[in-house]
Amino acid sequence: MTLTDALRAGFALAHQRVGLVFLDILWKGIWIVITVGALLVAASWITSDLLAISWEDARVGAVNGLIAATLLRRFWSANQTVILSILGLVMVFSIVTWLLLEALFRRKFVVRTIGTFHILLLSSAAKYAILLAASLLLIPAAFAGAATIAIVTFVALGFLLTLLDTLIRADATDLLGTDLFRVSGLLGILMSFEAMVAGSLGALLVAGFSNVASSVDAIAMLGAALVTVLFLSLLHSYLLLVRFSAIAIMRQNVVEV
């Protein structure tokens, strides 16, 4: 099976399971609702003491603004640690929720005999943890004058981790020894296409926002940005389904041989 055959077969199989793309969008929407809800609860708890503070209306806008700024500054100084801790907990909660929902809903993308949920959960956690650690190491290097090297290193590491993550999830690590170049080419083509589409749409949005001249234009561009995000999310889910479908077919051919 050539790379072209694998891609063609992957697209054909993905079209038979296209409903999974919308299921993938569903869990992302659930994650957004849960995260926003957690943020609102945290904001309500943080500001509960602030709203209870009573102060006299000076009946002068500038004076009221100065009083409010002073109160906010004192409130931040007195509760800075607590506020940062709460926001940190919300961030951790959001990340854990993302990992759990992703593993739960994307189980149908892959075909494994055992441990699908746990494998997806652990592989995603390991991938994001490594990328975060690499970012913390490469960002200082980028600011030190080695931006190109840092970017190339990060992209290469991201591609390698995506390759390993895909094969581990699909229970197809044997392809590393039997079909490494074709698997790498498959991921490279799909990821490059997605990156080109995202880059093109991002450039259009930047150009559009730079030419905003009124509130109507701003609202229109915000709407366009939301549509773009939704489209890119659909595209990513679809290409991810194609990726796992093609890998499953390639693995099946190897097993049959």
Q: What is the pLDDT of residue 114?
A: 57
Cα gap 51→48, rounded to integer Å: 5
Q: In the chain, what are the domain boundaries?
A: 3-256
pLDDT tens digits for range 32-56: 999 999 999 988 887 776 666 655 5
Q: What is the pLDDT of residue 252?
A: 79
Cα gap 176→163, rounded to integer Å: 9
The radius of gyration computed from the CA coordinates of the chain, to the nearest angstrom, equals 24
- pLDDT band with cut points at 50, 70 and 90 for residue 229: very high
C-alpha separations of 129 from 99, 134, 136, 236 in Å: 12, 9, 11, 21
Between 56 and 207, the more confident residue is 207
Looking at the chain, which runs of residues are DSSP E strands? none
Q: What is the pLDDT of residue 257?
A: 45
Tokens of 152: 């190339």
pLDDT, mean of residues 107-128: 81
- pLDDT band with cut points at 50, 70 and 90 for residue 95: very high
Cα gap 106→114, rounded to integer Å: 15
Question: Which residue reads 């290193």 in tokens?
Answer: 153
Distance, CA of 28 to chain centre: 9
- pLDDT band with cut points at 50, 70 and 90 for residue 143: confident
Residue 106 is given by DSSP the state G
pLDDT at 190 over 50: yes
- pLDDT band with cut points at 50, 70 and 90 for residue 249: confident
Percentage of the chain beyond pLDDT 70 is: 89
pLDDT, mean of residues 95-122: 84
Between 177 and 202, the more confident residue is 202
Q: What is the pLDDT of residue 63?
A: 60
pLDDT at 70 over 80: no
DSSP structure string for 158-200: HHHHHHHHHHHHTT-TTHHHHSHHHHHHHHHHHHHHHHHHHHH
Residue 45 is given by DSSP the state H
Q: Which amino acid is at 231?
A: F
Tokens of 227: 């549509």
Among 43-57, 113-127, 189-203, 234-248, the minimum mean pLDDT is found in 43-57
Q: What is the pLDDT of residue 53?
A: 61
Q: Model pTM?
A: 0.84
